[in-house]
Amino acid sequence: MRTRPLKVALLGCGVVGSEVARIMTTHADDLAARIGAPVELAGVAVRRPSRVREGIDPALVTTDATALVKRGDIDVVVEVIGGIEPARTLITTAFEHGASVVSANKALLAQDGAALHAAAGEHGKDLYYEAAVAGAIPLIRPLRESLAGDKINRVMGIVNGTTNFILDKMDSTGAGYQEALDEATALGYAEADPTADVEGFDAAAKAAILAGIAFHTRVRLDDVYREGMTEVTAADFASAKEMGCTIKLLAICERAADGGSVTARVHPAMIPLTHPLASVRGAYNAVFVESDAAGQLMFYGPGAGGAPTASAVLGDLVAVCRNRLSGATGPGESAYAALTVSPMGDVVTRYHISLDVADKPGVLAQVATVFAEHGVSIDTVRQQGRQDGGGEASLVVVTHRASDASLTGTVEALRKLDTVRGVASIMRVEGE
């Protein structure tokens, strides 16, 4: 074993960063044995140096992150500060000064992953980011290494624990959205401002990363269709249960049937209770992968939190340090396929549409005619009069597979019918 330690600079020492530092210290001997050399925490860049950080030598703490990554003796920079800047500049500066990088920064990788990979390649360094998607779950490495010889056709998953907790609570208790969100906030699953989670921004960034790796194509955050879950109601769950389904906020990345294009999207969807993702409860994450040779695979585990995310960071740190010792680098960006990223209008799936209609003869025939005129085939229809009377009824239509564009045209035409009082909800049906 080499006795000279590999030096690590840690950018950020919050929930995840502090766990990274703790594991590096408490598991130092094991890490050294696995890597072939000791690892040494050489500096920790923070915004508030006065805060007490248990187990970290105050002499290592600095507010000058730029000077830390420019030192020249740093072997690996671990970036867990998040956001676009200064993280982007610090990472590229680290490459320029001889360090490889381990990052957990999903937003930056989704927006500028190609440029970061190019910078790493230019300087012959590693860029690893297992912790950027699904916390502790090994996912990035299996997709870009274990399945590198296979053709991946679809990646569908629950990649945000906050939203899964809220939807699971609504499903299991009948709670409304706000009530479930309040509980998630009280338990620490949701931030004071939950917008990034509940509006799908967090999941969309992860979808961009997963699609790029799975399909060997550059997929940016702007390419991902995003729809939040704030409009999901208890009535939607009641309808889902009648169909033998539940509702999840899903990130879905798939290759077109002709293989010439891909799509990436995030939105709430009904999935059958028989699907493995339906049983993912609480704040857990799970990703379902479908490929030609391996078939169906599912990766499951805690998708957030200090210790789980730090576990993924440390796994990358071990891999990068091993590469450093051997003088090699791991896999970089694979974008050779350069497939077209299709818009949401091209996506084909099933739909569940709930309409408020006049409770009188002939309404169903009118509605069915509109669907037929737009080329959308109906699978099932259920009509029920309102208990409170008032001359209105609920009409639920479940379609066969149709494109998003054709369904949009259908709904626009339905709104123009005098007998249709309103469109209560539209939800995609996935996993079949």
- Catalytically active residues, by annotation: 206
Work out the number of other CB atoms within 10 angstroms of the CB of residue 200: 27
The 3-state secondary structure of the chain, one letter per residue = CCCCCEEEEEECCCHHHHHHHHHHHHCHHHHHHHHCCCEEEEEEECCCCCCCCCCCCHHHEECCHHHHHCCCCCCEEEECCCCCCCHHHHHHHHHHCCCEEEECCHHHHHHHHHHHHHHHHHCCCCEECHHHCCCCCCCHHHHHHHCCCCCEEEEEEECCHHHHHHHHHHHHHCCCHHHHHHHHHHCCCCCCCCHHHHCCHHHHHHHHHHHHHHHCCCCCHHHCEECCCCCCCHHHHHHHHHCCEEEEEEEEEEECCCCCEEEEEEEEEEEECCCHHHHCCCCEEEEEEEECCCEEEEEEEECCCHHHHHHHHHHHHHHHHHHHHHCCCCCCCCCCCCCEECCHHHCEEEEEEEEEEECCCCHHHHHHHHHHHCCCCEEEEEEEECCCCCCEEEEEEEECCEEHHHHHHHHHHHHCCCCEEEEEEEEEECCC
Structure tokens at 334: 């694979």
Q: How many residues are given for the chain?
A: 432
d(C-alpha 285, C-alpha 283), whole Å:
7
CA-based R_g, the chain, Å: 24
Instruction: Please state, in angstroms and as integers, the Cα–Cα distance from residue 335 to each residue in 104, 206, 331, 404, following that order.
Output: 21, 17, 12, 27
What single-letter DSSP state applies at residue 283? T
The torsion angles phi and psi of 208, rounded to 5 degrees, stand at -60, -45
d(C-alpha 74, C-alpha 6), whole Å:
8
Q: Are strands 420-429 and 76-79 parallel, antiparallel or unpaired?
A: unpaired
